[in-house]
Amino acid sequence: MVTLLDACPEATEDLRKNRLGFDLGYNYRMIIVSACLAGLNTRYDGGNQADERVIALLKAGIAIPVCPEQLGGLPTPRPKVEIQDGDGHDVLSGNAVVLAEDGTDLTEQFIKGASEVLKLAMTMNVREAILKDGSPSCGVNHIKRKGEETVGMGVLAALFSLNGLKVRSNDSL
């Protein structure tokens, strides 16, 4: 039986041996990944957080890189932002806001971007995402508040979780 990885010689040895826990046979599903982890310069500061394991998924043809903040209409680079008084779940329920360093409320853009990524995930039958922890959009286990790590999910991670998609941090790979 020929698998997706047999057709993709540049896939890493970790992927060939399926050490990352993905089904890479004929019944594989696409995976959403944070675009910054795929080496794209989408971070707020115009940089990236390239992760070779995520890039290998992209090269294998099973990852879709997205930046919810860009899909919400924000530019790159953009101001540093934080979720105030809660996490992504609180933003989605209207109990918290996303504020830029200068106090500009970017809640609407964060919700719009997360909604666009969810729409893409549903269209592509995606059931799993690997996201950049610490991000106000993509944080899986923690986000930053006042420059310090705090437990909580970003807006996209929370929306995915509420809709039954599995979210994993790049730190868990």
The residue ranking higher by pLDDT, 19 or 4, is 19
Task: Please write the tens of the pLDDT for every residue from 11-21.
Answer: 555 555 555 55
Does residue 127 lie in a domain region? yes
Residue in 90, 40, 91, 49 with CA at minimum distance from that of residue 70? 40
List the domain range (segments joined by +) for residue 124: 30-172
> CB neighbours of 128 closer than 8 A, spacing ≥ 6?
29, 31, 32, 165, 166, 167, 168
* Contact indicator for 88, 156 with CB cutoff of 8 Å: yes
- pLDDT at residue 15, as a whole number: 52
Task: Please write the tens of the pLDDT for every residue from 139-159.
Answer: 999 999 988 999 999 999 999
Range list of H helices, 60-170:
68-71, 88-92, 107-123, 155-162
**Above pLDDT 70, what percent of the chain?**
84
Does residue 22 lie in a domain region? no
pTM given for the model: 0.85
- pLDDT at residue 13, as a whole number: 53
Q: Tell me how many domains the chain contains.
A: 1
39, exposed or middle or buried, with CB in 10 Å at 0-12, 13-18, 19+?
Answer: middle
Does residue 2 lie in a domain region? no
Q: Indicate the pLDDT class of residue 29, thresholds 50, 70 and 90.
A: confident
Mean pLDDT of 72-90: 97
